[in-house]
Chains A and B, each alone.
Chain A
Amino acid sequence: MSFEHRHLLGIEPLKPHEITAILDLADDYVALNRRPEKHSDVLAGLTQINMFFENSTRTQASFELAGKRLGADVMNMAMQASSIKKGETLIDTAMTLNAMHPDLLVVRHPHSGAVDLLAQKVNCAVLNAGDGKHEHPTQALLDALTIRRSKGRLHRLNIAICGDIAHSRVARSNLILLGKMENRIRLIGPPTLVPGQFAEFGAEIYDDMREGLKDVDVVMMLRLQKERMDGGFIPSEREYYHRYGLDAEKLALAKPDAIVMHPGPMNRGVEIDGTLADDINRSVIQEQVEMGVAVRMAAMDLLARNLRAERQASNQSRAG
């Protein structure tokens, strides 16, 4: 299996076969997670630190569970409450962490590029759990796994990503990943939330949701990121729901077996109809959460293998 990266900072540096490698391993972990005895020791002895500079419940819990199931010592640091308020810079925080000898560092930060910056300064594997409006690679990987298991393949699918693309790191990572795997991607949303530049990445852009949903295999809804918006991007939530909220009527335009996805947390009645979100025949939202743990286990497993190989090599060269 080839996965030659020290960090998982984004989907952009990954090659298609590396994406497949993560997903294949994640499939094994899905099976493990469904067993009554769901424990492995592949990360035993390693320390995983979750550093979240931005509020998160779901992603942090998912990474924590993934680490614990693989036997790592997991620590959560809620950075929002601590040093950042005392004026410590990101680099100082990195130096402090280095002294604690972590092996896996899971970072979420409100600024694009902050996780890359941190990765340059620490001696361990860094996983990007979301940086600003840039990337959220494990979310894209779990979405890919969900699609692959549900559709039986991850290529030549028509996939619609709908809603607040502009503020979404999930959309960027998905756009890159699904593009690398050779799918057709449509971006649907009001032009204030769908930057036209994305057309240059090969996506088709629709501001009419009904037109955009025609014959798609997958409908990915995004959360309206009210906390990232400064100023009016949409006139009101009710008009947004009317034009861009996913309901049964709009979904009827997609293929009959189209699946509905959402990275969570959902704004019911804003971007998605509550009943539809709960419809187990169409919605794979719960499955996405399950795949999230497995994908994160796979990613950390692969990075830990590289980390151990690297350390072994440096020990040998020192001995020699």
Chain B
Amino acid sequence: MSTLFINARLIDPEAGTDSPGAVLVRNGRIAAVEKDAANPAQMLQALGIAPEDVTKVDCGGKCLAPGIVDIGVKVCEPGERHKESYKSAGLAAAAGGVTTIVTRPDTTPAIDSPESLEFVTRRAQSDAPVNVLPMAALTKGRDGREMTEIGFLMDAGAVAFSDCDHVVSNTKVFQRALTYARSCGALVIAHPQEPVLSKGAAATSGKFAALYGLPAVSPMAERMGLDRDIALLEMTGAKYHADQITTARALPALERAKANGLDITAGTSIHHLTLNELDVAGYRSFFKVKPPLRSEDDRLAVVEAVRTGLIDTISSMHTPQDEESKRLPFEEAAAGAVALETLLPAALRLYHAELLDLPTLFRAMSLNPARRLGLESGRLAAGTPADLVLFDADVPFVLDRFKLRSKSQNTPYDGQRMQGRVEATYVAGEPVYRRD
């Protein structure tokens, strides 16, 4: 069974190219990629495939890119299935061009044992149409005291270890966990933040927070958290990924750590790339995320860091919250936003603003996250899994949150004009979503 995608605009993050071409998919994998001189007939001939054995998909000049690998998606099973299940998250991911979701362990209870991880894996396999790779907690109950069974959890399929937004504030515990994780070859994903300074904060300190009377945290708290973690990496040599770098002040430290050869990468969230603190105006709790939205200067610095590759990955930080937990005074409202379906359209804002080109966006959304996790996907290359997204980069639409497939609809982009929409998503060559 083969599928031939013709007349496509190929976005190849590895080569950094954006060019017309064709892709042949066979047995769930990419069999051949033909750029520029897109002559599908020759391509088939070279591979010895008869044209009648091939299903043709005419992409109509639309973009074909490696599917998105999203590190840090919260699916609310177990504990809060009414907010998001594997089924609803999987459908949302498929509709958003996300072919692999890497789930967070900050559920209730936390995923901190091989048994609970197995539950997640089973639920995901039966319900989600996309690839689901689970992360596990770094410490038991995510309470920063005792490390989890990192070895067993890896055997059970954990691809990374994270206490999510809980900072392991006990430096000795964190040091030991990093040391142990290194011996297992495990990737640790941390939330760089000085936990005491940022406690209770609902906004970033500045003119806006002062005017609105909101409890605020200095952007410096992120750098202080990152500085500590970098020092621990020098001590332990662990494999480390910062979940969200959102401030300009943290970037030089990250750059130095990379230059010094530490095994460190960093991500950022789509919200911090496309929104700033002023969007909260009128105390709109759908704009409450963690860490809080930053100043416009920070936003632009982070976009630039994605462009240069200093920040490696972009993720949705998909965090479903029900209406009840958002319809509260801003300080009391829950943090987080759903973003699986809006990740690509929101990222395309950066493309239309001419800040990032498409190969750069897909380097951060597909190639780099896959590489960091040691996956084969994320590339447009022969032999790799045919996880693909076909999208129209230009079509305009107005986002209606009630049309989202997530069980929770807490998106900050509700009612906003977006440009660019997913046409179809393929996992292992099979369509898991087609726009109707």
The 6 nearest A-B residue pairs measured at CB: A113-B283, A133-B213, A134-B213, A111-B329, A114-B329, A112-B213
Q: Does B331 contact A (CB under 8 A)?
A: yes
Per-residue B-contact encoding for A152-180, CB less than 8 Å = 1, 0 else: 00000000000000000100100000000
Q: Does A71 contact B (CB under 8 A)?
A: no
Query: Given contacts A116-B282, A116-B283, is CB(A172)–CB(B211) below 8 Å?
Result: yes
CA distance A200 to B324 in the complex (A): 36
Query: Given contacts A89-B324, A197-B205, A197-B206, is CB(A113)–CB(B211) below 8 Å?
Result: no
With a 10 A CB-CB cut-off, give which of A111, A172, A198 has the most chain B CB atoms: A111
Q: How far is the CB of A235 from chain B (nearest CB, A)?
A: 20
- Closest residue of chain A to B332 (Cβ to Cβ) is A111
Which residues of B sit under 8 angstroms from A191, Cβ to Cβ? Answer: none
Q: Does A269 contact B (CB under 8 A)?
A: no
Which residues of A sit under 8 angstroms from B283, Cβ to Cβ? Answer: 112-113, 116-117
Q: Does B224 contact A (CB under 8 A)?
A: no
Per-residue A-contact encoding for B378-398, CB less than 8 Å = 1, 0 else: 000000000000000000000
- Additional A-B contact list (19), CB under 8 Å, known A89-B324, A134-B213: A89-B328, A91-B328, A111-B331, A112-B212, A112-B330, A113-B214, A113-B283, A114-B329, A117-B283, A131-B213, A134-B212, A172-B211, A195-B210, A197-B206, A200-B207, A200-B210, A201-B207, A201-B211, A230-B200
* Residues B183-228 near A (CB distance < 8 A): 200, 205-207, 209-214
Q: How far is the CB of A179 from chain B (nearest CB, A)?
A: 12
Which residues of B sit under 8 angstroms from A201, Cβ to Cβ? Answer: 207, 210-211
- Closest residue of chain A to B331 (Cβ to Cβ) is A111
Query: Using a CB–CB distance below 8 Å, which chain B residues touch chain A?
Result: 200, 205-207, 209-214, 282-283, 324, 327-332
Per-residue B-contact encoding for A103-141, CB less than 8 Å = 1, 0 else: 000000101111011000000000000011111000000
Which residues of A sit under 8 angstroms from B324, Cβ to Cβ? Answer: 89
* CB < 8 Å neighbour of A117 from B209, B213, B329: B329
Which residues of A sit under 8 angstroms from B331, Cβ to Cβ? Answer: 111-113, 132
Contact call B213/A132, Cβ cutoff below 8 A: yes
CA distance A63 to B212 in the complex (A): 24
* Contact sample, A vs B, 8 pairs, CB 8 Å cutoff: A90-B329, A112-B213, A112-B283, A113-B329, A135-B213, A197-B206, A198-B210, A201-B210
Which residues of A sit under 8 angstroms from B200, Cβ to Cβ? Answer: 230
Q: How far is the CB of B67 from chain A (nearest CB, A)?
A: 39
Which residues of B sit under 8 angstroms from A112, Cβ to Cβ? Answer: 212-214, 283, 329-331
Contact call A89/B327, Cβ cutoff below 8 A: yes
Which residues of A sit under 8 angstroms from B332, Cβ to Cβ? Answer: 111
- Closest residue of chain B to A53 (Cβ to Cβ) is B329
CA distance A12 to B209 in the complex (A): 14
Q: How far is the CB of B386 from chain A (nearest CB, A)?
A: 47
CA distance A268 to B324 in the complex (A): 43
- Closest residue of chain B to A135 (Cβ to Cβ) is B213
Which residues of B sit under 8 angstroms from A200, Cβ to Cβ? Answer: 207, 210
* Residues A186-213 near B (CB distance < 8 A): 195, 197-198, 200-201
CA distance A24 to B33 in the complex (A): 77
Contact call B330/A113, Cβ cutoff below 8 A: yes
CA distance A109 to B330 in the complex (A): 12
Query: Given contacts A89-B328, A91-B327, A132-B331, is CB(A113)–CB(B207) below 8 Å?
Result: no
Q: How far is the CB of B198 from chain A (nearest CB, A)?
A: 14
- Closest residue of chain B to A131 (Cβ to Cβ) is B213
With a 10 A CB-CB cut-off, give which of A113, A117, A132, A134 has the most chain B CB atoms: A113
Q: How far is the CB of B216 from chain A (nearest CB, A)?
A: 9
CA distance A135 to B329 in the complex (A): 14
Q: How far is the CB of A120 from chain B (nearest CB, A)?
A: 9
CA distance A195 to B207 in the complex (A): 9
Q: How far is the CB of A11 from chain B (nearest CB, A)?
A: 11
Q: How far is the CB of A89 from chain B (nearest CB, A)?
A: 6
Contact call A109/B327, Cβ cutoff below 8 A: no
